[in-house]
A and B are shown apart, each in its own frame.
Chain A
Amino acid sequence: MTSLPQATNKKLGLVIDLDTCVGCHACATNCKEWNTGGHMAPLTDQNPYGKKPDGVWFNRVHSFEVKRGKTNPGLTVNFPRSCLHCENAACVTVCPTGASYKRAEDGIVLVNTDKCIGCKLCSWACPYGAREFDEDEGVMKKCTLCIDRIYNKTLEPEDRQPACVLTCPAGARHFGDLSDPDSNVSKLVAERAGRPLMPELGYKPTNSYLPPRARRVEAANIGAEKQLEAVSPRKGFLSWIDNTLSR
């Protein structure tokens, strides 16, 4: 059924640190790499070697310039955007076929592509643009939170994390159970005042974003002159020209 579970045993999700994300797109690239052979495979592309390539990606990294008034310095924010595995996942309830579902055991939102009719309504219902339509297969695809990695007993325990988390060179992505207050991700959210995206719309996303830390407005005092002035010649030919012309 596309009704949502009353409660989920866990709330598996991501915590993304906007302070440390360097915008390298490694998470998006490794996501594509893993998932094109994983649970949702394949992630097809249209015109991949042409001028305007287009295809299914579960993770997109935006960069924004944030102006914060005169007293606060501006920021460049790199912003990875993927499925937030919402508690009130409207993408699930709007699904007319039962292809979309939210798992009661861990809260992961998935699509059964064998049941999907490709009506695209779930992508309209997602405020974050997490779902992307596969033109080749005629079905909707989305982030699985690497369900085929996190429970994969053939991998070493430390590798049982989503591909995007493992690959992040800046350590900006964290995976864990956000329903457990003692988990690393919950502690991060508490310490750094993690925020949900568009909370006013009421979807209760599981993933949380850590806002950039406060920046220092003034430069440190290292004893340098506040201002340097151009040197004018005091004697000699150039000085004579300067004096003559200044008269």
Chain B
Amino acid sequence: MHPAFSVILFTTSSGAGYGLLALMGIFGAAGILPQDRWFGLSGLFIALGLVTIGLLSSTFHLGHPERAWRAISQWRSSWLSREGVLAIVTFIPAGLLGIGWVFLETTTGFWGVMGIVGALLAMLTVIATAMIYRSLKTIHQWANCWTLPGYLTLSIMTGALLLSALLMIFDEHARAVHGMVIFAVVLAWIVKYVYWRFIATSKSLATPSSAIAVDGAEITPLDPPHNSANYLMKEMGFIVARKHADKLRFISYATLFAMPLALSLMAYLSSGAMGTISAVVAVISAIVGVAVERWLFFAEAKHTVNLYYGATSV
């Protein structure tokens, strides 16, 4: 599948934003995070900023962005519509949490409940995003049980890295958070590793034979249906990153998991400037890594329509 820049930016940016929002809601309600208004303001600003950037960028690839409001109407059947509804609803408890944190400097009681409701809705939004891909049976690399855990763990992981860096910058040592970061990175690493193994060792049930309803040992294109690339080939026949998948996976493993893990450990064990720098560099590394990972998620996805254009399996 063609990895549209706007969709990569949307899923990674909003994923990190919702992860950060969920963790701030939960840890805030638990009273682990500083009640300081400036900490709350910066954290929620980053979280909701990332979410908003993501949501806006997701409208860039639309043919008619001015009609985007229509997309919240079909929540009964469409995961894309559900995602839109959840994304908007999440702003309500997140805003209320912000009021408590910034104006009243409290994150417990009613405001804590809003934090937990916001966290739940944030995670549901990420689940809806993942389900858009998970539910497409046309793409084996998406329609499997590792897609949803992949989106969730990466959302929490990138959100946790952001929260950890922010705490370091505010010179706060919520050890529970820093410890959780390490756990989140390891968990996301395992899920992504299993996902990549799964797509390397399995393929769609659809075959060239079933695609054209003719049984044959070998089916090869003889004459193309058109003499230049059409929409289907441009949108679903993307192969650039697939060619470099091994290298890109290595880059992704290194920048998304190995570096942030090492740096988070360093941040966990050290303090002061050293810890802050480690935590911030971990975030930067993960940004690069998650962009490469998401690029691969699209580029490695093989749509069944490729069976009509010479693919022997998808």
Contact = CB atoms under 8 A, between A and B. Distances in A.
Contacts of A119: 61-63, 71, 80
Interface string A119-130: 111011111110
Contacts of A120: 61, 63, 235
Interface stretch (B185-193, B203-211, B271-279, B289-297): B203-211
- List 3 A-B pairs, minimum CB-CB distance, nearest first: A118-B63, A138-B63, A129-B305
A125 B79 CA distance: 12
24 contacts: A2-B74, A3-B77, A53-B227, A54-B230, A56-B231, A62-B224, A63-B223, A75-B214, A94-B77, A94-B78, A95-B74, A96-B72, A96-B78, A121-B80, A124-B235, A127-B304, A127-B305, A128-B305, A129-B236, A133-B63, A139-B63, A198-B206, A198-B210, A200-B206
B208 to A, nearest CB: 8
A49 interface: no
Interface of B: 1, 61-65, 67-68, 70-74, 76-81, 84, 132, 135-139, 205-206, 208, 210-232, 235-236, 303-305, 308
A69 interface: yes
Interface string A189-228: 0000001111111110000010110000000000000000
A156 interface: no
A23 B223 contact: yes
Interface stretch (A76-84, A161-169, A179-187): A76-84
Contact of A96 (B73, B232, B308): B73
B308 A2 contact: no
Contacts, number: 207
A81 B132 CA distance: 26
Given A94-B135, A133-B231, A117 B71 contact: yes
The contact size tier of chain A is 35 or more
A229 interface: no
A18 B212 CA distance: 9
A188 to B, nearest CB: 14
Nearest to A66: B216
A60 interface: yes
Contacts of A1: 74, 76-77
B129 to A, nearest CB: 12
A198 B78 contact: no
B219 A66 contact: yes
A65 B210 contact: no
B63 A137 contact: yes
Given A62-B223, A132-B232, 12 more contacts: A3-B77, A64-B214, A64-B219, A67-B216, A81-B225, A90-B135, A95-B78, A96-B70, A97-B81, A117-B64, A127-B206, A128-B305
